[in-house]
Amino acid sequence: MQLTRPPSPHLRPFLRLLWASAPEGTPDTRTGAREHVLPTGGMHLVFRLSGPPLRLFDDTRDLRGHTVGHAIVGGARAAFYLRDVSVATRSVGAQLHPGAARLLLGAPEDALGGRHTPLDALWGERQTADALEQSHASSNDPARQLDVFEALLTRRLAAATLPRTSPRGLHPAVAASLGQMTRDTPASIATLVAHSGYSHRRFIALFRAAVGLAPKEYARVMRFDRVLALAADDPARAWADIALAAGYSDQAHLSREFSALAGLSPQAWRQTGAASPRHVPAVGAAGQIPSRR
């Protein structure tokens, strides 16, 4: 079961979405089960309220992995990651807007991008433990979990110093560029740089600091996002048609990019029949996806 809702108005400039999830009935144990988590270009804050801490794997050959913790910040990524899903867990979390990390977490996006960071490295052990304890007290009621979690972030924001020139924590040039990059026909990076009024190097630095990815990486993920949306809307649609609609030069171009970002080919992704387009079960021995020929 998963419950999602938009944040309260005062948090909407900083949070995109709040969610709480819980397994149905008694959680099954699936030894060795793993999942490909596909990139969104955004940042996530997650509290695990049951089960083991988050365990990640470097690649499909990594059999041991490494643990991150029960309170985790997932930075913006430009490629998939592998996680252990052998035990279903209760969790509550939020998707952050670009620019919110410095205010809510105490670190800029570029310091957190491309990796998972234990929250206690940012908030400190005591504050993180207190936040987890408060969330645990409501762990049997997903709606209440969201209320508690939102209250925690509200207090965190109230204690932050909002910059006068950019109260959302997002540079105006970056904010304008993000709007243009999510269109069906996005502007080129060169056009965004020209419109920003900054040099190419300065614009890249501003963008990376606010988003956690360079503009080219972020544009790549947004184009991939359009592919997933088109494929999910029409599971029978030909990949060649999707490639052209999403802005790729041809199907081969889409296939190369899809494999690089998702860790599997478009057709392998489609054949998994995953309920969520970005959470794809790894199959085969030790949770590995069979290699493509």
Q: Give the DSSP H/E element, type plus range, for residue 116.
A: strand 116-118
Separation between Cα atoms, residue 136 and residue 105, nearest integer Å? 20
Handedness of CA 182, 187, 193, 196 (dihedral sign): negative
pLDDT band of residue 138 (cuts 50, 70, 90) is: confident
Grouping H, G, I as helix, E, B as strand and the rest as coil, residue 205 is: helix
This prediction's pTM: 0.88
Joined tokens for residue 284:
């085969």
pLDDT digit string, tens, across residues 77-118: 999 999 999 998 999 999 999 989 989 999 999 999 999 999
The DSSP line for 214-259 is -HHHHHHHHHHHHHHHHHHH-TTS-HHHHHHHHT-SSHHHHHHHHH
Residue 254, CA distances (Å) to 76, 105, 148, 155 in order: 21, 35, 42, 44
- Any idea what the Cα angle at residue 255 is, between residues 188 and 180, rounded to 5°? 20
Return the residue matching tokens 């433990």.
129
pLDDT digit string, tens, across residues 239-279: 999 999 999 999 999 999 999 999 999 999 999 887 788 99
Torsion angles phi and psi, residue 190, rounded to 5: -60, -40
pLDDT band of residue 161 (cuts 50, 70, 90) is: confident
DSSP secondary structure code for residue 181 in this structure:
H
